[in-house]
Structure 1
Amino acid sequence: MSVSSLSAKSSAESLRSISSFGSAPDKLAPSVEGPMVWKNSELDPTKYVVNLTVAEVSEIRYAVISIKLQKMEPEQISKENFPLSEELSAKLAAASKQVHEGFGVAVIRGLHAARFNDEEAVIAFVGICAHTCPLRATDSYANQTLSHVLDATFRKVPHWAKDIGLAGSKITAKMDFHNDRFSGDVLAMHIRDDGGAGNGGEQYLASFWSIYNELLEKDPAVLETMAEDKWPFELKQKDAAPYLELGPTLLFSKGKPMCQLVKAPLLGGLYIPRDPSMPELSKEQMHAIHAVEEVAQKVCAKLDRQQGDIQLINNLSVMHARAAYGKTDGPSTRHLLRMFLRDPQNAWDKPDSWKHNFDDPFTPGRRQEIPIRDLDPWRKISGRESHG
């Protein structure tokens, strides 16, 4: 399947990577076509869900046992030492193809039948992803590769963490549509516990390529604003003042629009407010945020979700959102494992000026921290996350 088919408006200029600092491109890339341009029910679960057979789940269980018997740390797991048959490995690799050239979404389903404990679930998640998108991202500040997405709002805050705050992955509030900035090409999540029926936390996806096409036709100034590298991102630091990083929220490479719009470092979050020293967004930037959200709400689809799913989402072309979840009388049981990944076989080219930012999480040799349980939701990454 072709990733995109450029319209007749295509030109050599619009096909170049946008790699200049300081201004919007002279011409926006033309409208895009292909399977990654979808709306609402066109995102068909029967086409993006990859069902594991009973035999394949058994294969994965044997691979998990092999890792445990070797007393191997999760960060050492690779495609080579997580033994799966060629057929199953190829089936998982095909899910990456769907994420990069199809809908931008794939869901690997059936793992819940294995009834893994916490340690085994992490090993299985890491091992399966090694056969799908083999490179794991590490946060350059906290050396964290795997995060636990859960409700930490009822936990007692230790004295040392009183000024850190909880990141979006640790609270129950709704999240508007966004992409996680410079975190990785593919967002991977493993559903350990969906919180139960009626508890909220539904997940929604929106094709940014559909959003792009509509805005290109009806309000192209929004896209021009997004492509300007004047967006004032606040990057938090532990035991130091935050610093300002200017950059775009829309980039292009070989005609592909790539969205990196995330609100928390631009507007602040519920538990992590924006520092008063940071500049406010311009009226054009605020309009762009609202315009993108409005179109995303119109074209979005609810992600088909079951316990045990491994969700793979293109973090460059598909925006994601979450409904609020949990109740007021106690913590929610909702629990997801999250990693950011890259598949060198299918990875998209990045614009030259921002290639370092995209590549930094995948710096070779950096230690990967993959905690089995989340015993410290106030860890230093909580004050710096560029998610949500």
Structure 2
Amino acid sequence: MGGSGGSEFQLPPEIGGPSAWYGPDMARRRDWVATLSPEEIAEVEAAIRKTLARGTDVAAIRRDGFPLPRLAPRLAGILGDVLDGRGFAVIRGLPVERWTVEEAAVAFFGIGSHLGSARSQNGKGHLLGHVKDLGLSSTDPAVRIYQTRERQTYHTDSCDVVGLLCLRTAKSGGQSALVSSVTIHNEMRRRRPDLLRLLFQPIATDRRGEVAPGQKPYFDIPVFSWHEGLLTAIYQRQYIESAQRFPDAPRLTPELTEALDLFDALANDPALNFTMDLLPGDLQLVHNHSLLHDRTGFEDWPEPGKRRHLLRLWLAPAAARPLPAVFAERFGTVTPGGRGGILLPGVVPNAPIEAV
């Protein structure tokens, strides 16, 4: 069963397990940090050199051409924790300070190829994203918030797993924040099951101008779906609000707005969430189906060469969970390993080395 909030719909039970965590507990732990050994780093650097010597385009890197015999089994275990455990991990120690942006991009894409297939992150077909302040504002309906220095608010991306590689940090702010959507569900179930029920009904979310022929300019997927015994969330409040600019989008009722407000209040509750500083060389992986992520606003350095810069991948692991059919409206298909991303006809997937 997908997300149906009709009268016959029964709320899922309260959900236990490693994905139902609380932020203060997680902040005290460090089992989610995997520090690379010198031998593993050397293996990555050898693969970088081979890739650059062959002249392989970043977008064409595949796991067979980026051998990591020592690190690959460890990556498989980390991915298991992300998909079936706590929902996130940080791989620490990549020596980005001694790499060019191209070398960092090759390393990131190569490591990513051992985790899943890269998916397009925007209407330009970018398989490699650059998270930088481009001096834009989210008040422009064609702008996505990662292109600004604004706080993002808690949201999911349109893929199974998002990866971030930190190259440079901001002068202040720009922390990564995480919260479990499973825990939000459990808390709403205890406090206001009447409001929780509304979030299992389809809700319009703005595509922000990245619309393929035949698509509506918004998609209709419930915030929560219960499918094959798994709770899956998809959420971006600003884009839910901005979808109301379309006359044919279903309207936000006062009751649904109250439900979204409670969802946001729980996501923003320090009893549920926690923040972390991503250091240069940290590679963070986040499971979009069980977590929401956020980034605090930031003040950047005035010098262009010092400004905050992260690389991003949207990944489709072959071992990803089953998704309800309604997710095809956003993910293109629900087939693991080939789903997610923003696919527009005629756009060739590419991996720009500089932010564009």
If the length of structure 2 is used for normalisation, what is the TM-score? 0.86
Q: Which residue of the partner structure matches residue 313 of structure 1?
A: 286
User: Does 1:136 find its partner at 2:118?
Assistant: yes
Q: Does 1:80 align with 2:57?
A: no
The secondary structure found in structure 1 opposite 2:111 is: helix
| 3-state SS of paired residue (1:121) | helix
Aligned residue number for residue 370 of structure 1? 351
What amino acid does structure 2 have at the position aligned with 1:291?
L
Which one-letter code corresponds to 2:182 in the other structure?
Answer: W
- Is residue 159–residue 339 contact of structure 2 (8 Å, CA) maintained in 1? no
Equivalent of 1:125 in 96, 99, 108? 108
Q: Does 1:335 align with 2:306?
A: no
Change (3 A) 1:246 1:113: closer
The CA deviation at 1:330 is 7.6
The aligned counterpart of 2:167 is 192
330-339 or 235-244: bigger deviation: 235-244
Q: Identity of aligned pairs, percent?
A: 24
CA distance in 2, matches of 1:277, 1:141: 23
C-alpha distance in 2 between matches for 1:277 and 1:125? 42
Q: Separation in 1 of the partners of 2:33 and 2:100?
A: 24
Map residues 96-175 of structure 1 onto 2, 5 A cutoff: 96-112=79-95, 115-131=98-114, 133-139=115-121, 141-153=123-135, 165-175=142-152
CA separation of 1:195 and 1:264: change in aligned 2, threshold 3 A = same
CA contact 1:242–1:275 (8 Å) conserved in 2: no
Match of 2:223 in 1: 249
In the alignment, the residues of structure 2 paired with residue 49 and residue 195 of structure 1 have an alpha-carbon distance, to the nearest angstrom, of 22
Query: In the TM superposition, what is the alpha-carbon distance from 1:53 to its structure 2 partner?
Result: 0.8
Are 1:284 and 2:255 an aligned pair? yes
Distance (whole Å) between structure 2 residues aligned to residue 315 and residue 363 of structure 1: 13
> Which residue does the alignment assign to 2:318?
344
The structure-2 alpha-carbon separation of the partners of 1:293 and 1:363, relative to structure 1 and needing over 3 Å to count, comes to: closer
Q: CA 1:164/1:296 → structure 2, altered by over 3 Å: closer, same or farther? A: closer
Q: Within the alignment, does 1:59 sit opposite 2:34 as a pair?
A: no
1:292-347 deviation line (CA, Å, top 9, x unaligned): 121122200112521111100010111111111025978781111111112112x1
Give ranges in structure 1 of 5+ residues lacking alignment: 1-16, 156-162, 377-388
Inter-CA distance 41–238: structure 2 relative to 1 (3 Å threshold): closer
* Contact 1:99–1:312, Cα closer than 8 Å, also in 2: yes
Closer, same or farther in 2 for the Cα pair 1:284/1:174, shift >3 Å? same
TM superposition shift of 1:103: 1.0
Deviates more, 1:360-369 or 1:205-214: 360-369
Structure 1 ranges of 4+ moved more than 6 A: 238-242, 328-332
**Is residue 331–residue 339 contact of structure 2 (8 Å, CA) maintained in 1?**
no
Output one character per residue of 1:153-186: Cα deviation in whole Å (capped at 9) or x when no partner. 179xxxxxxx775320111111221112xx1110
1:56 to partner: Cα distance: 1.1
Task: Say whether 1:260 aligns with 2:237.
Answer: no
Does the Cα contact within 8 Å between 1:29 and 1:256 map onto a contact in 2?
A: no
**Offset at residue 266 of structure 1 (A):** 1.6
1:301 alignment partner AA: F
Q: Distance in 2 between matches of 1:172 and 1:141?
A: 21
- Provide the aligned length of Structure 1 versus Structure 2: 340
Aligned partners of 1:37, 1:234: CA distance in 2, in Å?
A: 28
- Answering whether residue 295 of structure 2 is matched by residue 326 of structure 1, we say no
165-174 vs 26-35, greater mean Cα deviation: 165-174
State the Cα deviation string for residues 269-306 of structure 1 (Å, max 9, x = none): xxxx9746465522122212211121122200112521
Over aligned residue pairs, what C-alpha RMSD do you find? 3.0
Given candidates 165, 187, 207, the residue that maps to 1:235 is 207
Shift of 1:109: 0.6
Q: Deviation of residue 134 (structure 1)?
A: 2.1
The residue aligned with 1:294 is 265
1:44-72 Cα deviation digits (max 9, x unpaired):
55211111011211110110010000000
Cα pair distance change 1:284/1:34, threshold 3 Å = same
**Mapped partners of 1:25, 1:265: distance in 2:** 29
Deviation at 1:356, TM superposition (A): 5.6
Moved more, 44-53 or 103-112: 44-53
Q: In the alignment, is residue 37 of structure 1 matched against residue 8 of structure 2?
A: no
CA distance in 1, matches of 2:85, 2:148: 32
In structure 2, runs of 5+ residues without a counterpart are none
Q: Could you tell me whether the CA contact under 8 Å between 1:24 and 1:225 is conserved in 2?
A: no
What is the distance in 1 between the residues matched to 2:325 and 2:38?
A: 45
SS in 1 for 2:31: helix
CA distance in 2 between counterparts of 1:321 and 1:143 reads 23
